[in-house]
A = this chain, B = another copy of it.
Amino acid sequence: MLTPFDDNYFMKKALEEAQLAYEKAEVPVGAVITHQNTIIARSHNLTEQLTDVTAHAEMQAITSAANFIGGKYLKDCTLYVTLEPCQMCAGALYWSQISRLVFAAEDEKRGYRNMGTKLHPKTKVKLGVLAEEASSLLKRFFIEKRNLN
């Protein structure tokens, strides 16, 4: 059966969130969490607005999804995020035992893989979904920021 609800579809929703972050002059990263093809959490980076290094898109999405589910563990859930999670966010994903992580752009410098952070053994990973779109937006943000300073 054909379904519109594939990884591209949900990553586009995460990109819409990243766009909202961009419009607020936040590093443009967006996330959604799905459960049975339904979005149960959506968020974008708010570290500047909230003056809080912990306000990454993923952290907010994990809190929000657990709140929706009424349980701490994100079983049968998928996190879609436009940038590879950092140590903190991967560490939170570890505790959440999320079933699946899908990210768009790789973060060679501060991404969890090169930093050596461990996900939960239950978590499956897919990367590169709409990576071009996600990194274009990030590059645009950083170029504009540099030109402002």
Contact = CB atoms under 8 A, between A and B. Distances in A.
A8 interface: no
Interface string A92-117: 10111000000000000000000111
A66 interface: yes
A34 interface: no
Contact of A51 (B48, B71, B117): B71
A49 to B, nearest CB: 11
A21 to B, nearest CB: 16
Nearest to A96: B53
Interface of A: 47-48, 51-54, 59, 62-63, 66-67, 70-73, 86-92, 94-96, 115-118
